[in-house]
Amino acid sequence: MTPATRLDLDPDQAPEPATGSWLERRLPVGRALRREYRDYPLPRNLNALWFFGAFAVVTLAAMIVTGICLALHYTPTEAGAFDSVEAIIRRVPSGWILRSVHMAGASCFFAVLYVHIFRGLYYGSYKAPREVLWLSGFVALLMVMATAFFGYVLPWGQMSYWGAVVVGNAVAAIPLIGHPLAGMLLGGDAPGAATPMRFFVLHMLCGGLICAVLFIHIAALHVTGSNNPAGIEPRSPADTLPMHPFYTTKDGVGLCLFLAVLLGLAFLAPALLTEADNYLPANPLLTPPDITPEWYFTPFYALLRSVPSRLGGLLLAGAALAVVAAVP
């Protein structure tokens, strides 16, 4: 019998390089990363719609980094929230860039998530055996929506304040637990002194939970494998390609284009997707003529306002999300 070559060996049993081999034998992180990312097999026929999952991960990383930098200068009080955001823009070195990237990143994050969901629906990514993958993605979507809402209130502008009022009233419409829950959320019967601190804590907490759910989502993907446009599961190694260099190269090209759009919004049109009223400090005595949410909340806001009953609108919005969860 001839000795086995390196190519004949199981990748998990291949000898490790001398450098770091002691650590690899005790904590094989490098081996796991190579198996789950560099050498991870993907179907040969994935199209550009599969890029958007990677776009979402990169955008989330950018949001976390810029969010931490902004949090270092933010004052979560009723009196100081709006002024601290203005100070970030005008006095903190590169603060306007951080806030612009964070704001544009929120819109881009939802855009890529919605495309990612559309791709999953169109190509049947929810079908067996990928139910856990779909449901974990749905939970991640809920966490992202909650995080975005909490973050939207933090600047404490006119739209931020009245957006909190609208959501607080909707929550209060829930039978039995609505009023206590709204009071816990807002810190009172209406947004007030306690609201910025509570929303700041919830914004940071939900950001961490998104990372945890994303880890579960990726783990579920690597257990079942990715589906593909043809809907035919790979049956042999000849039907797949390793993630690197084939898909990292393709994703890299798409990522460059995506980052160009993100940075273009941040540098050239930071206020394009934001209501002008939110550059005015919150005034509980002056209701804006038109309370308009961010574009990514527009469908759910329309459902909330589509019926006279607050509870009915809340049930409609919840039913729309429940349909997505029930697809499998």
Active site positions, annotated: 222, 226, 250-251, 294
Opening angle at CA 111, ends 245 and 44, nearest 5: 30
44 vs 49: CA distance, rounded Å: 14
Q: How far is CA 177 from CA 168, 182, 201, in A?
A: 13, 9, 22
77 vs 153: CA distance, rounded Å: 12
Place of tokens 């200068």: 73
